[in-house]
A and B are shown apart, each in its own frame.
Chain A
Amino acid sequence: MKALLNKTLLFVLIALSISVLVIMILRKTCDKEKFFKLPSDVQVLFAGHSHVRLAVNDSLIKGAKNISEEGEAYIYTYQKLKQYLAYNPQVKYVMLECTNNALSEYYDSRSWSEHFIKTKLPDYNLNLESEDFLCLFRKEPTTTLITFTISARTQLEFLTDTAMSYPAYAEWHKHRHYKNSDVDSLLLRPKKDSLDRAAMKYSEHAGTYIRKIANLCKIKEVQLILMRSPIHERWEYRQNENMFREQMQRQFSDLPFLDFGNRAFDNKEFRDLAHLNYLGASHFSGILSGVLQNIELLHSQGYHDMSAPADMIE
């Protein structure tokens, strides 16, 4: 029995050491430029979660790239921007989505729930800072460690497939458009009276990572602009509007904020109460195009204005 235990222990130790070594070698071989290098004319990045992914059709905006993803919490946007800004010194502006839900504690589960760690972290854990790693590790230790094996496996995948055509990556970081609108049927449903407590509360975690993104942009000499895409007036998370406005003013008054949240869009331009469909995205992207043409001028004037948003700068 003792001999077996000793041999098994030795075997497990050697096997684990080899595994760590292999994972490290695979990490070293990762050609990140392949994933993060953008065309030289891209000067504006749109980042954030599903709102911006659906709202901004980057093919209609000159020199822009939509790198947002559904359900993306700021901790992952921060990792993503670190990579994009490292490989794209030509980028001048980062437009970061700030909406009522993403700024609330309700959205924190998007950072450290098992599902989100598994789907978001493997793409970025190659360059995780210890603070970020610990933030996730404390909440989900096993899953956080597992993501290293997922990224190693993905890397193995890319070593054998130079076409980078694996299904999960075919849709990587680009605008997603939806044809239909469910708004009319959604409006027939009874209005939700109150939100969960977490959705009414400001998330320190989200705030920390928006601030980290701001610092990163400052170091890279990139202008960070916070932005709220159009949302329907009946969207349930508008119930935390007071908290949202108060915190935007209190925490981020030093950052420009373009608020399109109250812009009148037709029901048929929304996919649902939170997201635009392709019609809305075309409309909104046209507006953004105009905004970006005047952005240098606006930049010099300063435009953190909560009450009379976006219209004034078109």
Chain B
Amino acid sequence: MRAQNILLMIASYFFYGCWDWRFLFLLAFSTFLDFYTGIKIHDSNSIRVRKVWLIISVATNLGFLGFFKYYNFFIESFERLLNIAGSPGDFSTLDIILPVGISFYTFHGLSYVFDIYYKRIEPRRNPVDYALFVSFFPLLVAGPIERATHLLPQVEKPRTFNYDKMVDGLRQILWGLFKKVVVADTCAESVNAIFAHSLELEGSTLALAAILFAVQIYGDFSGYSDIALGSARLFGFELLRNFAFPYFSRDIAEFWRRWHISLSSWFRDYLYIPLGGSKAGIVRVIINTFIIFTVSGFWHGANWNFIAWGMLNAIYITPLVLFKLNRHNLEIVAQGRLLPTFKELLSMLFTMMLVTIGWIFFRSGSVQQAVHFVIDIFKPSLFTIPDSKYYSHLLLFLVPLLFVVEWFGREGKYALESFALRKTRLLRWSFYFFLVVMVIIFSGEEQEFIYFQF
């Protein structure tokens, strides 16, 4: 087990170093800091001293994150504020490279330190085990954001070969590759072209871009998560589930329980609940909801459009929280049935529409562009046929295929899981071959994962 962990840790550091070896030191320092402060917090009997170590860890981690990710944003925003106030602010920004995955491994480390502080777990004394928990390569660059309570016990147990788990891991990787390489990247070509010419295009073409971006970001990020979870399974690890068919949600609260689950639950456990959650008074609940969504938006990127995206989602969800309707749809839609009811279908479409409008803010370069984009969608030209110059006709086949497979697999952990149990071998293998061929044919034009930039 010890040798397994050492090998995996070295492999993970090598993997990260392939991108930029200089940032290995930052990763190692962040790991050491949380490992050390975790022990210090645990070993101290004084509440004050425990708090001081916690503050050191949180401040240092967020300090690094703030510098690398948000320094220029704060400088530019401050400068703009001074200009509005009539004072000529002239501060220089820095040419900073954002270390890949810093938002993710910072949150891994913070969850570990918080859990020790709140006495949910004991600190680890083996630095290799802890370093592997932080740097495990499938989740290092774009999550899922793991919890110490979930992953560390797996790190500490010996792992043996399991045929079924290996096959299941490979199957999930294949489906993730299809979602990313075939669907998301094909959508990306159209989305990029349309957003680049958004001022001159018709409402219907803009609406199409918004829908395609919703598909793209899902295929891109959930595809990555499938690849990460599948790869981890090959090594005997079960990572946290990150997506649970979010576009089949019947309301926005359900959507947020199914989208980027590891981040949503992180904010819920380490921010929302400590702030009082939904147990406080009405005003406090509204404030807490806005805080969590604004911070979540800001976590995604140092730009006002991400903050606007977070706040828009807070506006969507607040009525549900206030009227206690946010936990109405806990189970997957149409469980045990082939098709949804008409009411369920309408609810899903309405939720999808709200989410898609939100994605416009996420994708746009600025809040201004997003607002223009949304207004321009609702022009009379919304009812014309989208400009065929801007989309690949293959999408008319690929997008429905994605949704059909996901619909039929929605009761499993991922779309193809139940597929493996029900179908004959011939049908199964034929479908797998189809996926592989599509992945190979579509692999020429590579697009980076959207979440690598966060």
Q: Which residues of A approach B to under 8 Å, CB–CB?
A: 1, 3-4, 8, 11, 14-16, 18-19, 22-23, 118, 122, 146-147, 149-150, 152-153, 156-157, 160-161, 163, 165-167, 170
Contacts and interface: CB of A to CB of B under 8 A. Distances in A.
A15 B433 contact: yes
5 contacts: A1-B161, A19-B440, A22-B437, A149-B440, A160-B394
Contact of B388 (A15, A122, A150, A161): A161
Contacts of B392: 157, 160-161, 166
Interface stretch (B3-11, B162-170, B249-257): B162-170
A15 B444 contact: no
Interface in B429-449: 429, 432-433, 436-437, 440-445
A160 B393 contact: yes
Contacts of A149: 440-444
Contacts of B390: 167
A167 B437 CA distance: 25
B443 A146 contact: yes
Which applies to chain B's interface (DSSP): helix, strand, loop or mixed? Answer: helix
A161 B161 contact: no
B444 A118 contact: yes
B441 A22 contact: yes
A8 B174 CA distance: 13
A16 B441 CA distance: 11
A62 to B, nearest CB: 30
Given A3-B163, A19-B441, A22-B437, 7 more contacts: A15-B432, A15-B433, A118-B444, A118-B445, A150-B445, A153-B441, A153-B442
B193 interface: yes
A14 B166 contact: no
A18 B433 contact: yes
A19 B436 contact: yes
- Which residue, of A14, A152, A166, has the highest number of chain B Cβ atoms within 10 A? A166
A156 B437 contact: no
B394 A4 contact: no
Interface string B146-182: 0000000000000001010011001000000000000
B343 interface: no
Given A15-B436, A18-B433, A156-B394, A4 B163 contact: yes
Contacts of B441: 19, 22-23, 149, 152-153, 156
Nearest to B193: A167
A165 B388 contact: yes
A66 to B, nearest CB: 22
Contacts of B445: 118, 150, 153
B389 interface: yes
Given A4-B163, A4-B166, A4-B167, A157 B440 contact: no
B91 interface: no
Contacts of B442: 149, 153
B170 A8 contact: yes
B397 interface: yes
Contacts of B432: 11, 15
- Which residue, of A4, A23, A167, has the highest number of chain B Cβ atoms within 10 A? A167
Nearest to A150: B444
Interface string B346-363: 000000000000000000
